Each structure stands twice: as C-alpha cells, then as structure tokens.
Amino acid sequence: MLYTQTLEKLHALRLEGMVQALEEQRQQQDIVALDFEDRLALLVERQWLWKENRGLALRLTNAQLKINSATLEDLDYRPSRGLKRAQVDQLRASQWVQQHRSTLITGPTGTGKTWVACALGHQACRDGHRTIYYYAPKLFRALESAQADGSLLSLLKRLARAALLIVDDLGIASVSGKLYRQFLELLDDRHGQGATLITSQFPVAQWHEVIADPTVADAILDRLVHNAYRLEFTGKSMRDPKNPADKHP
C-alpha cells in the first residue's frame, strides 16, 4: 500500500523518470547491495535524464527543423565543399547562440546549406536553446498574413523570444520592400537578444541587390553581418544524381 501511494505521489509530481527507475530497481535482486544514498542517486539521475530528453524532444518539435535528423556528428568535410572543421568547432558548443551572434551560410544550390543549418539548430536544441526554423518564403508569407489579420505583433514577439531563429534560403523568392521592412523590425527586436542563422544561394555581397531597398538593405546587413560567423560553401550540388558519392550531408 505504501509503495502504491508513493507511486501515485511521484506521478502527481510528474517525476516519471523516477517512477521508471524505481520500478526497475524493484526487479533487480542485487539492488539491496547498494546503500540508500546510492539508490537515491540512481533515481535522481534517471529523473534528470528523463527531464532532459523530454525537454529536447519538445524543443525539436517546436523548432520544426526541415531536416530533424541532421546532426553535426554526421557532417561531411570533403575539401571540395569548402567547409572547414575548425569553423564548425567554433559553433559546436552553441556559445554563439548565447552571445546572440549571427551565422551566415552561403553557397550554390544543393551544397548542403539547409542540412548544416538544421544540424546547428539541432545542436542548439540539445544545448537547451529554444529554436525556430523558417523557410524564407514561408516566413515572409507568415508576416504578410499576420499583417492582414492583425496578429503581426504577436508573431514578432514569438519570433523575438526564440534563442535561435533560422531563416533558410533568403532571396529565393521575390519579396516586397514592405515585407523586408517587417523583417528588419524582427531583426531589430532580436538584436542583442537572440542569435540568427541565415542561409542563401547569394553571396552576402549581393544581398543589397536581393533586398532592393538600399536603406533597408543597409540596416539588415548591419544587424546580421557585424561579428557574424561565415560559412561559404563551394563545389557541385551534393544532390547530383550522376555522382552517387555526393549524397552524404
């Protein structure tokens, strides 16, 4: 009866990891060889791991990464790609997210920009950072729709609260100057408050042409480029069907 009551209280406290560990301990005949402190430590450790895993799963779900399975451990560092291990090591611990810095990934289509962006997003989630991924055209459509239905302020606040905002494929679609001004407002809200990762097929030097409005372009680049990490990919598309070896992330 006492054990049942204990389980009920653990469930009420949402200590599911501890419940699982306690049930397992009751099935282990040699567990009695451990003293109370050691058994308690095992229960607490399981609860900690359960909470961490649950938090990671929730952050990954909310992030909506395009490639949820992408991880930095699987990166391909072939020389033709232009990706250097030292560059990635600077980003691996997610200190750049804590420091509210930007990372800009540019290169031809098919060179793995989205994959690397998602891998960095996955790592940020692992490190406890709330992350949001947007394909650039969908972000601008969301801004436009929010402007039309009066929810723009709410959307901007939600995006501003994310520790890491990933905007994938900037410049892939034509965007009005009004929407770029809203994008600037978003970046301004996040400046010094969160990290931003941008991928684009266009080199940073061409972003003025992509944004079109010189004043808005200057302001956007001022908030993104200063003190940013830069990954510039080169080489052929890794999705080239004639080259089976070029399918690794």
Q: What is the pLDDT of residue 242?
A: 53
73 and 7 in a common domain: no
Residue 63 to residue 57: CA distance in whole angstroms: 10
Q: What's the rounded mean pLDDT across residues 38-53?
A: 87
Confidence of residue 246 (pLDDT cuts 50, 70, 90): very low
Q: What is the pLDDT of residue 245?
A: 41
CATH number of the domain encompassing residue 71: 3.40.50.300
Determine what percent of the chain is predicted with pLDDT higher than 70: 93
Residue 171 to residue 194: CA distance in whole angstroms: 22
Q: How distant, in Å, are the alpha carbons of 48, 71, 82, 105, 130 from that of 93?
A: 21, 13, 21, 18, 15
Range of the domain at 145: 64-247
The domain tally of the chain equals 2
183 and 88 in a common domain: yes
Instruction: Yes or no: say if 17 and 46 are a contact pair by the CB < 8 Å rule.
Output: yes
Q: How distant, in Å, are the alpha carbons of 76, 136, 151, 182 from that of 168?
A: 20, 5, 23, 17
Of 62, 80, 111, the residue that ends a domain is: 62
Q: What is the pLDDT of residue 249?
A: 60
123 and 9 in a common domain: no
Instruction: Yes or no: say if 226 and 196 are a contact pair by the CB < 8 Å rule.
Output: no
161 and 232 in a common domain: yes
Q: What is the pLDDT of residue 241?
A: 53
87 and 189 in a common domain: yes
Global confidence as pTM? 0.82
Residue 158 has pLDDT above 80, yes or no: yes
225 and 205 in a common domain: yes
118 and 15 in a common domain: no
Instruction: Yes or no: say if 100 and 52 are a contact pair by the CB < 8 Å rule.
Output: no
